Structure 1
Amino acid sequence: MASSYFSLEEFFRSEATRLTKLAPTVEKTVSRNGMSEGKSVQINDWKNELALFMDSDINKPAWQNSYRVDSTDRLLTYTSTDPELRTQKISIEKDENEKVKHIAIINHASNMLYQTEERLDYYPDSLYQIDKQQQVRLIGESQYSIRGVLQ
């Protein structure tokens, strides 16, 4: 089998465990169609909080040849070669010590009833953000955003 891709699932499982132990306060802002609400919260279930990031993992045997891999010293990018796959692009930026600095994910899904675009950003110990744009037939367009700033 070809070498596996960077495992988002493993990375975010480990982050969930680490953040559960750390128990940071999070300034969380949730927006829907321009209306937003923010508050300071303690996240009790980091696995659930980071689930969308974990669900974007591309380590499936069926997809082993479905992504083009580009890398430089500090940036690793996976770009889907199949427009039907949900996870279209993953960029992983590392610092000089090979520690993950930023993960950016672009997901896309569509069928006859809806079209969804997601952009997920994760900066360890700092920020996570989920921006989602959804076009649903008969209902129209909605935009959602979740932003968590770790204190």
Structure 2
Amino acid sequence: MYWYKPLKKYTIYTGVLLLLGGSYACNKPEIKETGAELKYFDLKGYFGKQDTLLTKQNPEVNKSVAHNGAAENKKVHITSWKKELNLFTESDINKPAWKLSYSVQANDDSIVYKAKFPELKTREIIIRKKAGEITSIAIINNTRNILYNTTEKLIYAPGLYYLIEKMQQVKIMGANGYRIKGVFN
């Protein structure tokens, strides 16, 4: 056939390299723990330990859920603390790109992290301590774009309660408010 010409070596090598490079670029890079010292408080590690502890203890929780004011209460045993505390874990600010993105104010009884840049979702983390033990963690998250504005207020007091308040303002649909509170019995 007139259009067939034998492939040259460099064409094959280039094709293989492009194929390998393209498949590598499509893979989502994994963030691996390097063992390096964390710049900020380790929320992910802390709530991982709380997940393990609460799963082992299996406490009864008086849980109330409200959506736009309509509330429901139940006494439950949480089957997955990892899912229940997921918003707290997702607020971790120990990403390499953010190592200079938060101001830190440390006192004897608290540590406050505040975002320096408006595009950061986690705006503030307040960790309160008494006699070296954490008594509460409060987190404020905010996501804003042209379609919606979402604000989350998260509070966790070990052994006492956890609170998740979320206010969402969507341009065409209006406002929605969610509130989840779990009180340990």
TM-score above 0.5, yes or no: yes
Deviation above 2 Å: which 4+ runs of structure 1?
none
| Aligned-partner SS, 2:91 | coil
Structure 1 unpaired stretches of 5+: none
Task: Report the Cα distance in structure 2 between the residues aligned to 1:7 and 1:71, rounded to whole angstroms.
Answer: 15
RMSD across aligned C-alpha pairs, in angstroms? 1.1
Bigger fraction of residues in helix: 2
User: What residue in structure 1 maps to residue 46 of structure 2?
Assistant: 11
Percent identity between the two aligned chains: 45
User: What residue in structure 1 maps to residue 23 of structure 2?
Assistant: none
Please tell me whether Structure 1 or Structure 2 has the larger radius of gyration of its CA atoms.
2
Bigger fraction of residues in strand: 1
Task: Report the Cα distance in structure 1 between the residues aligned to 2:124 and 2:140, rounded to whole angstroms.
Answer: 5
TM-score (normalised: structure 2): 0.79
Residues 88-125 of structure 1: CA distance to partner in whole angstroms, max 9, x if unpaired?
000000111x1110000000001111100000000000
User: What residue in structure 1 maps to residue 149 of structure 2?
Assistant: 115
Residue 69 of structure 1 deviates from its aligned partner by 0.1
Match of 1:56 among 87, 91, 98: 91
Q: 1:3 to 1:59 in 2, by over 3 A?
A: closer
Matched, 1:129 2:163: yes
Task: Report the Cα distance in structure 2 between the residues aligned to 1:24 and 1:130, rounded to whole angstroms.
Answer: 19
Task: Report the Cα distance in structure 1 between the residues aligned to 2:181 and 2:145, rounded to whole angstroms.
Answer: 27
Q: 1:100 to 1:111 in 2, by over 3 A?
A: same
Residue 74 of structure 1 deviates from its aligned partner by 1.1
Bigger relative contact order, structure 1 or 2 (CA pairs below 8 A, ≥6 apart)? 1
